[in-house]
Structure 1
Amino acid sequence: MSQPLSLQSTGSERRLPDRQPTVVSTAWYRRLVRDETGVTAILVVLVLGVGLLHPQFLGTDNLLSTARSAVFVGLLAAGMVFALAMREVDLSVGGNFALTVVAGAMLMRAGLNPWLALPVMLVLSTLLGVANGVITTYARIPSFIVTLATALLYRGIALALADGKQIFELPQDSSYFTWFGGRTLGVPTSLWVVGLCVTALTVVFTRTRFGAQVRAIGSNPDAAAFTGLPVNRVRIGALGLSGLMAGVAGATALAFFMSGDPTLGQGFELTAIAAAIIGGTPLAGGRGSVPGALVGALILAVVTSALVFFRIPINWTSFATGGVILFAVAADAGLRRYRAAQQARAPRGA
């Protein structure tokens, strides 16, 4: 009796050291491999790859210019994460963006202080997003259809208000333009704005009740409704937040371009959705990554900038962008499957 017990004890003691490295390795892996790791690695490899062939691409001015070109789509994609995580989609962000720019420009040309026009622009864009949510919720129409219609509606209003022309004669000597559209500490102020917004939205998405409700509803809408979650209110809030980010992007664009152009933002809605998906927010809902959406926008901006250095005709821009989207999504999906397999093996080694 004692011998088997001794052997069992000895075997247990021998197995314990074998388990510990597995637990440590898995813990290290979980810290390293997160939702944004795959796309971030792709971004770094892409930048370094272009830089090896064209060293001037790695110049500070060029990198800042490339990053600044991703600001508008990055802001739209950050807000899109909330809609996609709830299995909704907001195709109106491009029209919302253009209408916000035109409305702000008209207010400023009429004599309103640009800094006072800013909150009006943000409130307007938020209400446009809320309108999408209200129609989707209470008319029981899919958000895809609703926002497709409002995309045309919002842009049509912008074109009508601006009479199809750019709005000039703005107070360009105002600090709104000189600071908001300029640089702070040597970095375009718009980059500070997008960094602040992404940080705030990341906290909202991952650390607040609203963010948890968005993820829960996106994972299983029926179960969420059965447990008493305010599905209607959260849906309206998510689409309202998407509208707010369109307003932030519009206010930033107005400060940079110093004119109200109703044609701005054409195609931004699809690019923002692509950036969010590249960054780890699936159409199936239930999860998302605000920082990943920004990284996705940066990848698309780097591709566009790299084409210039390689002297590739602009006609190939869409082809290259589509290829990068497919590659990035496939690589990130492979990384997620590998991570899921590692996590599935973790309990057996615990």
Structure 2
Amino acid sequence: MAQRGTAEPGVEPEQRPEHRPEQSRRPSHSPIGTLQRLARAPSVSVIGATLVLLFAIGALRPTYLQPNQLLDTLQASTYVGLIAAGMAYLVSMREIDLSVGSMFGLCLISVAMLVQAGFNSWLAAAAGIVLGGVLGGVNATIVAVMRIPTIVATLATLSVFRGLAIGLTDGTQVVNLPIGDSFFSVVGGKVLGIPFSILVLLVITLVVGVTLHHTPFGHRVLAIGSNPEAARFSGISVTRVRTQVLILVGLLVGVAAVLGLAFFTSGDPNIGGGFELQAIAAAVIGGTPLRGGSATVFGAAVGAILLNIVATGLTYFSVPANWSAFATGLVILLAVGVDSLVRRRRAAHRSTRTATS
């Protein structure tokens, strides 16, 4: 007879509860767990706010929810949305570029003048995108050589780039462009009923977002924003990464300018004024904190849409355009305030859980 507590040959010992694997320690892949992770995503708040605002306006003015009106709203958001995607990179590094609005105007004017002079429209568009990257490189060079904050350098180039745009055109619009050209019909047209610029925004947002969160370059950007000194000690060249990001922002501005010219079919040297503040606001509203270290490119693009919904929604209620900036400022304050409150509550909750564990 086997002794108590000794298993007989061929007989499995009774599995005690303490010997069973603890399922609670395994990562949850259930639908509820997935929904909880999605609910904690930084861009969820701005998506929810955008949908609430959209349907609130639609409830009072049903024509606002017509497909053509919604597409027009998205179309008008693409330019700031593209710039905001790049601005999310900068804000995550604790940097701000104030020259993007003037850069947008200079790139658009330059492409328009080339087309007006008889250059191939597609080549002129490519040159405009390259010009955006060059202007971003100019900002980066000034910051690196003079060793001044990016916000100070771009505050100066804001006036320089705008002055160049006005000087090149003598303050007049560039008109009489060959709008029958394939560039204007394709880039300024629609694909399967959707404006071409909206598709460009979706593709670029996806690519730039994946680059930020799933490539070594993106990890370096976020590491610098989290702790610049620690990033330097780990061997990351802050100057090189900042230069690359400023050039990236310039390229995105160039793309936005090309899309803008194709849609408006004329060039105004004053176009793009205020885009810098809208892009910064869109990035922050979208879930990119000013303290750096994290960013959401998709949220920045949605933030640009939210701001445009506010602007266009006011016209449906016959609110004078002069109040648009006032309403936009209130939205920014409200969004930043709510975001700050949510973050403080989450931090307090984590501290409470740590203390009780």
Superposition TM-score, scaled by structure 1 size:
0.90
Deviation, 1:31, is 3.2
| Cα distance in 2, alignment partners of residues 62 and 349 from structure 1 | 52
| Cα distance in 2, alignment partners of residues 21 and 240 from structure 1 | 40
1:74 to 52, 70, 81: 81
**Cα RMSD (Å):** 2.7
What does the per-residue CA deviation read over 1:204-227, in whole Å, with 9 as the maximum and x for residues that have no partner? 111111111000011111111111
Please show how residues 327-342 of structure 1 align to structure 2 within 5 Å.
327-340=334-347
Please show how residues 241-280 of structure 1 align to structure 2 within 5 Å.
241-280=248-287
| Cα distance in 2, alignment partners of residues 77 and 20 from structure 1 | 38
Deviation, 1:66, is 1.0
- Normalized per residue, the structure richer in helix is 1
1:46 pairs with 2:84: no
| Cα distance in 2, alignment partners of residues 344 and 36 from structure 1 | 23
What residue is the counterpart of 1:103 in the other structure? 110
2:297 partner amino acid: V
Deviation, 1:327, is 1.6
Unaligned segments of structure 1, at least 5 residues? 1-8
The 8 Å contact of residues 84 and 300 in structure 2, kept in 1 or not, is answered as yes
The 8 Å contact of residues 38 and 44 in structure 2, kept in 1 or not, is answered as no
1:311 pairs with 2:338: no
1:134 pairs with 2:147: no
| Cα distance in 2, alignment partners of residues 176 and 219 from structure 1 | 42
- Which is worse superposed, 142-151 or 17-26? 17-26
**Structure 1 pair 186/18, CA: closer, same or farther in 2 (3 Å)?**
closer
Deviation, 1:29, is 1.5
**Structure 1 pair 196/343, CA: closer, same or farther in 2 (3 Å)?**
farther
| Cα distance in 1, alignment partners of residues 38 and 338 from structure 2 | 19
Please show how residues 4-153 of structure 1 align to structure 2 within 5 Å.
28-153=35-160
Deviation, 1:331, is 2.5
**Structure 1 pair 164/287, CA: closer, same or farther in 2 (3 Å)?**
same
| Cα distance in 1, alignment partners of residues 244 and 318 from structure 2 | 44
| Cα distance in 2, alignment partners of residues 263 and 304 from structure 1 | 19
1:291 pairs with 2:329: no
What residue is the counterpart of 1:6 in the other structure? none
2:55 partner amino acid: L
**Structure 1 pair 106/20, CA: closer, same or farther in 2 (3 Å)?**
closer
Deviation, 1:131, is 1.2
Deviation, 1:42, is 0.4
What residue is the counterpart of 2:327 in the other structure? 320
Aligned length: 342
**Structure 1 pair 34/342, CA: closer, same or farther in 2 (3 Å)?**
farther
Deviation, 1:285, is 1.2
1:190 to 162, 184, 197: 197
| Cα distance in 1, alignment partners of residues 201 and 341 from structure 2 | 29
| Cα distance in 2, alignment partners of residues 36 and 97 from structure 1 | 26
**Structure 1 pair 23/196, CA: closer, same or farther in 2 (3 Å)?**
closer
**Structure 1 pair 141/55, CA: closer, same or farther in 2 (3 Å)?**
same
Deviation, 1:305, is 1.2
1:281 pairs with 2:294: no
Superposition TM-score, scaled by structure 2 size:
0.89
| Cα distance in 2, alignment partners of residues 225 and 263 from structure 1 | 40
1:127 partner amino acid: V
SS at match of 2:41: coil
**Structure 1 pair 58/139, CA: closer, same or farther in 2 (3 Å)?**
same
Percent same amino acid at aligned positions? 44
Deviation, 1:96, is 0.7
| Cα distance in 1, alignment partners of residues 235 and 260 from structure 2 | 40
1:312 partner amino acid: V
2:233 partner amino acid: F
Q: Work out which of the two has the higher radius of gyration on C-alpha atoms and give 1 or 2.
A: 2
SS at match of 1:70: helix
Deviation, 1:26, is 6.0
Unaligned segments of structure 2, at least 5 residues? 1-15
What does the per-residue CA deviation read over 1:96-152, in whole Å, with 9 as the maximum and x for residues that have no partner? 101101110111111111111111111111010011112112210111110010010
What does the per-residue CA deviation read over 1:25-77, in whole Å, with 9 as the maximum and x for residues that have no partner? 66642233201001100001111111111111111111111111111111111
2:227 to 209, 220, 234: 220
